[in-house]
């Protein structure tokens, strides 16, 4: 009887011990799960803050570039047109006065065009391909180097926020090529692959040694900007063999 009693006590004690272990395990898992939820929530909030900060910085940069462009246009283009129209309208010759009136109409058109660039509504009205084509045409027109663009797949109009980030990243990549690479040719490839967008920017310029740490933070900033919209940024280069930048994004 005593032996049976001891066995019963042992069984009860073992059961209680196992129940306590299970309870501790369950409580630990619940605490761990809640900690992970808090960490994930904090991480999501941080990503959201970085995303909003990136968009704000990009909007400010584009607006600053726009204001600088408007300043140049007012001084170099519209200012000259106004001076000419003043001379023509002050002439006693009817044909000169007519030319002056035509210049006034041209000035009105130019000013209307500039006013549209003061906000970012133009981002929604232009496709990524059209924007890149405009940028490459400007580069080609300067005689700096030859340019080309290749599009494959069915183009999809991106949401404004993602398009805004891509526009700025592309601008920076093209500007870097012009400033540092001295290329004879710039090529851009746009591939729409279902729900994925692949964008390649390649130049045949100087290139650089990627094993040497960069002194600036330009490329790191571009990579972070792509990450804020769920994309990726990859660059490859070597001295004398140009530079290739590949961007990818789910759309």
Residue 177 burial (C-beta neighbours within 10 Å; 0-12, 13-18, 19+): buried
Report the chain's terminal Cα–Cα distance, integer Å. 76
Domains of the chain: 126-251 (3.30.565.10)
Rg (alpha carbons) of the chain, rounded to whole number: 31
pLDDT for the residue numbered 68: 74
Nearest to 165 by CA among 120, 135, 201: 120
pLDDT digits (tens, 9 = 90+) for 141-173: 888 899 999 999 988 888 888 888 899 899 999
Nearest to 152 by CA among 121, 118, 197, 204: 197
pLDDT for the residue numbered 21: 78
pLDDT for the residue numbered 41: 75
Query: What gap in Å lies between CA 12 and CA 20, rounded to an integer?
Result: 12
The dihedral through the CA atoms of 137, 139, 144, 148 has a sign that is negative
Residue 78 burial (C-beta neighbours within 10 Å; 0-12, 13-18, 19+): middle
The answer to whether the beta carbons of residues 226 and 249 sit under 8 Å apart is yes
pLDDT for the residue numbered 4: 60
The answer to whether the beta carbons of residues 177 and 149 sit under 8 Å apart is no
Which stretches of the chain score pLDDT less than 50?
none
pLDDT for the residue numbered 242: 94
Residue 205 burial (C-beta neighbours within 10 Å; 0-12, 13-18, 19+): buried
pLDDT for the residue numbered 147: 95
Angle (deg, nearest 10), helices 2-72 and 218-228: 120
């Amino acid at each position: 009887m005593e032996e049976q009693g001891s066995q019963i006590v042992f069984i009860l004690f073992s059961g209680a011990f196992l129940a306590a272990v299970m309870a501790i395990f369950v409580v630990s898992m619940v605490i761990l799960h809640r900690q992970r939820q808090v960490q994930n929530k904090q991480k999501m909030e941080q990503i959201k803050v970085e995303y909003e900060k990136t968009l704000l910085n990009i909007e400010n940069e584009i607006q600053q570039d726009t204001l600088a462009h408007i300043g140049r246009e007012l001084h170099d283009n519209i200012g000259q047109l106004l001076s000419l129209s003043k001379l023509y309208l002050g002439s006693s010759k009817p044909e000169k006065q007519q030319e002056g009136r035509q210049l006034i109409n041209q000035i009105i058109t130019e000013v209307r065009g500039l006013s549209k660039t003061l906000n970012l509504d133009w981002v929604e009205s232009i496709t990524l391909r059209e924007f890149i084509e405009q940028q490459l045409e400007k580069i080609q027109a300067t005689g700096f180097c030859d340019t080309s663009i290749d599009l494959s797949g069915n183009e999809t109009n991106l949401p404004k926020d993602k398009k805004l980030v891509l526009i700025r990243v592309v601008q920076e990549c093209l500007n870097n090529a012009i400033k540092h690479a001295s290329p004879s040719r710039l090529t851009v490839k746009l591939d729409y692959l279902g729900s994925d967008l692949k964008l390649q920017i390649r130049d045949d310029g100087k290139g650089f040694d990627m094993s040497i740490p960069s002194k600036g933070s330009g490329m790191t900033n571009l990579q972070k900007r792509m990450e804020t919209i769920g994309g990726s940024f990859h660059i490859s280069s070597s001295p004398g063999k140009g530079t290739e930048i590949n961007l990818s994004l789910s759309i």
